[in-house]
Amino acid sequence: MAQIFHRSTNTLSRFSIFGAAFLVAALLWVAAQINRSAYVTAIDVVREQPIPFSHQHHVAGLGIDCRYCHTSVEKSSFAGIPATQICMNCHSQIWAEAEMLRPVRESFRTGVPIRWTRVHNLADFAYFDHSIHVSKGVGCVTCHGRIDQMPLVRQAATLQMEWCLQCHRNPAPFLRPREYVFSMDWRPGPEDINLAQKLMQQYRIQSAELLTSCSTCHR
């Protein structure tokens, strides 16, 4: 019986199949890398703001506690954007006539809120509650990075699902005593070798199975 196709066709077929599989895998890898890139996640992208507010100056330089401006962070799902009145508590006396602060004075005079540009923009389908994370001993720097070293705020983490899950699957390494939640430079010392597990028990943190349930973040 005559052979219709040349023997080299078998090699060509194998090469095509494995080549196609390799190409699909490569494309998936590239897509994953793009999805994690700053182009998509906006990590380290500095947003233009109506006033160049510096956390580095106010937090590290002046020692202002996070809760002075973000008044609802301990009791609400939202940390809260500071009202103009909070700014004017100081700036009615300090740098009261500075040109840079003209939008603040205008907002205070008219009652029209300052339109800040959002930096941390979590997807609408994901539920996040600041108060529960604060009460469970998750520090500000865990999600926001060293905000006290940022002249202008930038996003320090991807805010993607895999980033959230790495904490929800194993929360112990990310916990700290509640009195240090708002401390930017706190680090566990050599004497705190068993602190993480003690805090897990103290805060009654649920099992990883419950923390990674879909309904925990998607409601």
pLDDT digits (tens, 9 = 90+) for 4-60: 666 666 677 777 888 888 888 888 888 888 878 888 888 999 989 999 999 999 999
Q: Which pLDDT value is given to residue 42?
A: 85
**In the chain, how many domains are there?**
1
Question: How many whole angstroms separate alpha carbon 85 and alpha carbon 78?
Answer: 19
Q: Which pLDDT value is given to residue 8?
A: 65
Q: Residue-wise over 100-116: b if at least 16 C-beta within 10 A, else e?
A: ebebbbebbeeeeebee
Q: Which pLDDT value is given to residue 165?
A: 94
Domain annotation covers residue 9 = no
Domain annotation covers residue 114 = no
Domain annotation covers residue 38 = no
- Residue indicated by tokens 């009791």: 75
Average pLDDT, the chain: 90
Domain annotation covers residue 167 = yes
Domain annotation covers residue 189 = yes
Domain annotation covers residue 113 = no
Domain annotation covers residue 174 = yes
Average pLDDT, integer, range 120-130 = 91
pLDDT at 2 over 70: no
Q: Which pLDDT value is given to residue 1?
A: 52
Q: Which pLDDT value is given to residue 22?
A: 84
Domain annotation covers residue 141 = yes
Question: How many whole angstroms separate alpha carbon 93 and alpha carbon 57?
Answer: 17
Question: How many whole angstroms separate alpha carbon 167 and alpha carbon 154?
Answer: 21
pLDDT digits (tens, 9 = 90+) for 157-198: 999 999 999 999 999 999 999 999 999 999 988 888 899 999
| Proportion of the chain in helix, strand, coil states, percent, rounded to 5 | 50, 5, 45
pLDDT at 74 over 90: yes
Average pLDDT, integer, range 130-137 = 96
pLDDT digits (tens, 9 = 90+) for 75-118: 999 998 999 999 999 999 999 999 999 999 999 999 999 999 99
The pair of three-digit structure tokens given for residue 160, joined into one six-digit string: 């993607």
The pair of three-digit structure tokens given for residue 212, joined into one six-digit string: 């990674």
**Beta carbons of 136 and 203 less than 8 angstroms apart:** yes
Q: Which domain holds residue 158?
A: 72-81+119-217
pTM equals: 0.82
